[in-house]
Chain A
């Protein structure tokens, strides 16, 4: 059975387990700042957006962060590593309440809550950003990858700068 078929036949509990593992791997990659590996969670023609909830709910198209291809994700990583000037920080992401909405058009639709905590040098750890992932996944090279990942954040007022991905 091909990997794609295998995913299609998984029952929702097993699928959720797979997804839990995927999100754990995804957040670990970012939390551990292995940013160069981050684009590998996506397919070539992908969409990654971080959007304030008020824009999303009003149907306003502006994203705080927009990547329309895997190459663009890599460009963001280059910016983080080479061009951006910023204070040292740790960001830790928590994902919970993973819900599978089902397969649609060959894509697995998933929702989850996320919280990102930020720790700066002279400050206490704070909730930096929280919201909902609205993800669409497809099977590529035998594993689930993001075709689309939207981070719709409730925390409208961004505490200064959003540098690392969510």
Chain B
């Protein structure tokens, strides 16, 4: 890295803007973060219930395929033909007996082994592969796979710690709170392309400070407010984090003066959106961010995986998979679907986020030499019993700097 890549001496209370736009930084992130020693979320098992079912997805920007084989193992392979690199799988979801690359019809089994090469022995004794060409050496590249309670993660790195250790005890407990072993049911997908660096998405969801200010909708209906009981939690490395809040008394206080966006007399004509039922113990909202590509959303009864797919330094795709449990009754499913209106590309709340992330990129992109201030709640990072803090973002960058050697 050149001299222009010097992190400000204040440490993680400053975020240099070159990290959001520099192509060299982006390339290093792909190598060290997404292809490095990290467990990337790729799918829910409920998306591939039967042998042969597959899902096409991405890790960082690299295309991969997740597939269930005849032995019920889940395999994750690069979506890149071992012959000349064709991205052979083009469907989002489907079911196959084997994968065949359309270009020269090399065929792979569900574990990624190469099982067929047309004209391998030539045609009329002419051509063909060299005699020592061994199918075994030319399978699809397989990734490491970890599963827990119906959620599938994959890694390009070989000797990675088990998923449970990777999460750490506090994040594992939050994970198991939603994924308690019950069978899941996929309710649908939503995908959006946001013209912003992928880290801005993590900053946003690790930032409880903005929620009480930017999101007039949330504030007006008391769904998330700075005066609610809340806390932030991180793992020991700082790479994972969670914003947690629960409903408490909402009294008018002087702090309201700072929440200018609060519209006290704003009422919904149709309040079905705001009729959650208590489903999980203790907390009403838990937003968990798992390094390096996953946000687990539990906003009352709406549950979703938000998978981050990078699309160059200045864009990312957010792939939402909404789900419930296989044993949900009709009312619960309806509730989940209604509350889904808060989130997603048309969400009452998350519209603000996607728009603001774009505003961020258009501010930080042209000013790589400048830096942002991240001092709310201190200059270090630790768990807090409130949400007036940028602690979780500082933790994220503390870990980011280590991995990136910045």
> Chain A residues in contact with chain B, CB under 8 A?
50, 52, 54-55, 58, 60-69, 71-72, 74-75, 78-79, 82-87, 122, 156-163
In Å, the complex CA distance between A132 and B66 comes to: 31
Which residues from 319 to 372 on chain B have a C-beta closer than 8 Å to any C-beta of chain A? 322, 333, 337-338, 340-341, 344-346, 348, 351-352, 354-356, 358-359, 362
Closest to A84 in B: B351
Contacts of B352 in A (CB 8 A): 84-86
- Give the Cβ gap from A124 to chain B, nearest Cβ, in Å: 14
Contact present for A50 and B192 (CB under 8 Å):
no
Contacts of A63 in B (CB 8 A): 188, 337, 340
Most buried by B among A72, A74, A163: A72
Q: Is B87 an interface residue (CB 8 A)?
A: no
Contacts of B359 in A (CB 8 A): 87
A-B contact pairs, 7 of them (CB 8 A): A55-B189, A60-B188, A66-B337, A72-B270, A83-B266, A84-B216, A158-B192
Contact present for B193 and A87 (CB under 8 Å):
no
Contact present for B216 and A82 (CB under 8 Å):
yes
In Å, the complex CA distance between A42 and B374 comes to: 48
In Å, the complex CA distance between A84 and B266 comes to: 13
Contacts of A87 in B (CB 8 A): 355, 358-359
Q: Is B151 an interface residue (CB 8 A)?
A: no
Contact present for B355 and A86 (CB under 8 Å):
yes
In Å, the complex CA distance between A85 and B268 comes to: 18
Q: Out of A60, A75, A161, which one reaches B346, CB within 8 Å?
A: A161
Contact present for A157 and B268 (CB under 8 Å):
no
Contact present for B216 and A162 (CB under 8 Å):
no
Q: Out of B215, B317, B346, B362, which one reaches A163, CB within 8 Å?
A: B346
Q: Is B107 an interface residue (CB 8 A)?
A: no
Contact present for B92 and A66 (CB under 8 Å):
no
Contact present for B263 and A52 (CB under 8 Å):
no
CB within 8 Å for A79 and B355 given contacts A61-B337, A65-B346, A161-B345: no
In Å, the complex CA distance between A150 and B190 comes to: 16
Contact present for A71 and B269 (CB under 8 Å):
yes
Contact present for B190 and A82 (CB under 8 Å):
no
Contact present for A62 and B337 (CB under 8 Å):
yes
Contact present for A66 and B191 (CB under 8 Å):
no
In Å, the complex CA distance between A71 and B268 comes to: 8
Closest to A156 in B: B191
CB within 8 Å for A72 and B269 given contacts A54-B92, A85-B214: yes
Contact present for B351 and A54 (CB under 8 Å):
no
Contacts of B403 in A (CB 8 A): none
Q: Is B259 an interface residue (CB 8 A)?
A: no
- Give the Cβ gap from B225 to chain A, nearest Cβ, in Å: 14
In Å, the complex CA distance between A64 and B340 comes to: 8
- Give the Cβ gap from B264 to chain A, nearest Cβ, in Å: 12
